[in-house]
Amino acid sequence: MLHSLTAIDNYRNLGYLSADNPYLWLHYLVSAEERIVNLERVTTLQELSNANPVLDYVERTLRILDQLRVSYWQKELIEEVLIWSETAKGGTMRERIRWQEQGINLFVHNEGSAELYMHASADPQQERTQLVTTLIRTHGLIGQCLRGEVPFAENVPLTDQVSHGVLSPEEMKTTLLILNRCIIEAVSSELWQQVQDDVLALIQPIVYQEQPLDWTTEDRILRLRAASIHKGENTVESLHQLNAQINLEQSFALLDHQTFWYVEAALQDFSFEEFAKIFTLISHIVPKDVRHISFERLMNTMYYDYKGIKKVNVYKKRMIEKVLAECSWDQLSTGTWGQDSPHLSYECVQEPHIADTVFFNFVFSPAAEKLIEFCIEAEKSPLYEKAVLLLFDLFGLRRDAYDRFHNEESYLEMMNQTVDYKRILLRYIVGETIIDIGPGGGVMLDLIEEEWSDKRAIGIDISENVIEALQRKKQLEGRSWEVMKGDALALREIVEPGSVDSVLFSSILHELYSYVPFNGHKFNLETVAAALSSAYDVLSTGGRIIIRDGIMTEPTGQKRRIQFLQDDGLSALERYAQDFVGRSIEYEVTGEQEVMMLVNDAMEFLYTYTWGEEAYVHEVQEQFGYMTPSQYRTFIEQTLGAQAHIVHLESFLQAGYTEALQPKVNITDEWGESVPLPDSTCIIVIEKT
């Protein structure tokens, strides 16, 4: 076993470093009072306070090395490189302050670690010491080259070691291959399998003093967006579209000689245009003598823990997106921010003692930071919507641009599970151009494309989250449908009147009714009327509006007796009646765990009770049923007029509710007789004659 692994095992067995520990590198790694890691590789931020991810990573690299069949001198050389290469991330706070005062760049970790190794060496001028220092200084740079973060020229010190005869080309080649295998495979064995050929292809020109092929500015941009491309971004198309407005490659070319740190972890969740705007600004404000541009501080501020899962801070992301959208290319191309937002600005900071490095970050005002903290704290309570609306107001965002923010991904996944219910709507579609309002996870768009590949299907949503997710899905799956950001209440602003043959509202009208204020208040049938009128306005003659949504049962005066079978049932109803603002929910307590209430009030509560605690914060804000079938018919006739013909109207109980509620409640009529659940859902088809 490697001596370093024995030292790590002894430390882990004891739980502390022994007083006679001779290994300075191990002291630096285990005494770290600050967790400095790439959050891209972390699933939960909580683990950082309960573990030492840097030491764990170093140990993994060493165990990989220990298993390889390598000559003794190479194994010993690479071991020394690996044990020192992460030391700039360690040390006590006092030690780190002293190092920075000495001019050691702890933020460019490979260079800082090389400096620490040199300081600890008995003979810094010795040839072997110089070789190890060079290998530490270039530690990880091959991987970063492949990611577009580092120019190829940063590896020239390795070439120099070959030129000076310290190692032969073949010795350097095998050393770098083994070293990079340890570095990359310790992150992920799958990753090493994916990139080992690329690593070898890059090592070749390093050791033989050649220039790598195809290292253009466009190639570097695409490498920087690799994670976003993997998620479905069509970066090539976006780049070419933006190049028609501004010479984007020229801006990036200004940064050809500079290295980027943590850029992918900080910016991969932003759109390509936002990414390009940030780099356009940076390219015109960073001094030319700066070597390193770090996004570490932005990375650290862009994540938070939600129930033990690392989540992107979409509150901050939305605010940054809004301000970037208002920045013109002309301003950014001259290094001008041009925004007067009192709550968001940028900073490009050079710290004392490390003039070759700048730190780029977005800075929020104290008020904005507190409000964002409030939104995160309110995620599990009915205060959440109020917190989000306060944030919207602070940054001047439209209040009806409703985002679920922290659980949008799980919401879209849930929407994709409703495929069987959405499939029913296909039988009522007519014509060639079909709009799906509020397309969610895109399941309806997929169904249309799979049923009729020649039809034009368009998803329209006000939520930036949904649009981004659908664009990624379209690219990844090679779909032909389209998505547009737009307002369901103003469709003529994005599509030509008379150009649409079918408009689908699949479980979306009740959300518009519940969330969108119209004439000053929500839970307003005028919102539904505006949505139907907007859709009718863009329909062609013979076109259809197809509705699938919640329904109330009639007669509305019926009562239901609910016996709760779980201890939390009555308290859940009490909480719901207090939190729900769609209408007053009345009930009469008739027993220890029993109530009597109007049938539609009972069902409105039970729809939310069915989804459970995780969905409560959102479901309590929605009114699923807001009209009976006869009320709906009258409403449509009054809203759309005589030329709107209802060709189909049915209501039914959505499968699953009976089974979901069976272990939770026993429902009878007011005399105690068992009754089935009433219809929950309707399908209505309106034709423009």
Per-residue pLDDT at 402 exceeds 50: no
Q: List the single range of 33-47, 208-222, 303-317 with lowest mean pLDDT.
A: 33-47
- Rounded Cα gap, residues 311 and 307, in angstroms: 10
Beta-carbon neighbour count of residue 103 at 10 Å?
11
Six-digit token string for 234: 């069509």
* pLDDT, position 412: 46
Per-residue model confidence as pLDDT tens digits over 327-362: 999 999 888 887 778 899 999 999 888 889 999 999
Contacts of 443 (CB under 8 A, 6+ apart): 415, 416, 418, 419, 422
- Rounded Cα gap, residues 653 and 651, in angstroms: 7
* pLDDT, position 415: 46
Per-residue model confidence as pLDDT tens digits over 182-193: 999 999 999 999
* pLDDT, position 416: 47
Length of the chain: 689
Per-residue model confidence as pLDDT tens digits over 363-373: 999 999 999 99
Per-residue model confidence as pLDDT tens digits over 597-641: 999 999 999 998 988 776 787 788 889 999 999 999 999 999 999
Per-residue pLDDT at 50 exceeds 70: no
Q: Which helix (H) or strand (E) holds 261?
A: strand 259-261
- Rounded Cα gap, residues 24 and 31, in angstroms: 11
Confidence of residue 399 (pLDDT cuts 50, 70, 90): low
Identify the CA nearest to 636 among candidates 540, 514, 549.
549
Report how far apart, in Å, the C-alpha atoms of 454 and of each of 107, 431, 472 are.
54, 11, 22
* pLDDT, position 211: 77
Contact 58, 30 (CB under 8 A): no
Per-residue pLDDT at 425 exceeds 60: yes
Report how far apart, in Å, the C-alpha atoms of 142 and of each of 62, 172, 299 are.
19, 14, 22
State what percent of residues in the chain have pLDDT above 70. 93
Tell me the average pLDDT across 634-663: 92
Six-digit token string for 21: 């520990």
Per-residue pLDDT at 519 exceeds 60: yes
Q: List the single range of 81-95, 208-222, 287-301, 596-610 with lowest mean pLDDT.
A: 208-222
- Rounded Cα gap, residues 454 and 30, in angstroms: 62
Per-residue pLDDT at 413 exceeds 70: no
Per-residue pLDDT at 306 exceeds 80: no
Strands (E), 165-277: 259-261
Tell me the average pLDDT across 268-278: 92
| 393, amino acid identity | D
* pLDDT, position 49: 64
Contact 667, 661 (CB under 8 A): yes
Identify the CA nearest to 291 among candidates 115, 435, 108, 541.
108
Per-residue pLDDT at 198 exceeds 60: yes
* pLDDT, position 407: 53
Here the contacts of 398-401 (C-beta below 8 Å, separation 24 or greater) are 398/462, 399/517, 400/462, 400/487, 400/515, 400/516, 400/517, 401/462, 401/463, 401/464
Per-residue pLDDT at 471 exceeds 70: yes
Output the average pLDDT for the chain. 89
* In the block, residue with structure tokens 């369901």: 488
Q: Using alpha carbons only, what angle is made at residue 347 by residues 343 and 352, rounded to the nearest 5 degrees?
A: 140
Confidence of residue 409 (pLDDT cuts 50, 70, 90): low
* In the block, residue with structure tokens 């780099």: 279
Confidence of residue 420 (pLDDT cuts 50, 70, 90): low
Contact 482, 459 (CB under 8 A): yes
Full-prediction pTM beyond 0.85? no
Tell me the average pLDDT across 271-295: 94
* In the block, residue with structure tokens 């064995």: 189
Per-residue model confidence as pLDDT tens digits over 160-184: 999 999 999 999 999 999 999 999 9
Per-residue pLDDT at 398 exceeds 70: no
* pLDDT, position 585: 95
Integer-rounded Cα radius of gyration of the chain: 31
Per-residue model confidence as pLDDT tens digits over 670-683: 999 999 999 999 99
* pLDDT, position 414: 47
- Rounded Cα gap, residues 202 and 98, in angstroms: 37
Per-residue pLDDT at 77 exceeds 90: yes
State what percent of residues in the chain have pLDDT above 90. 66
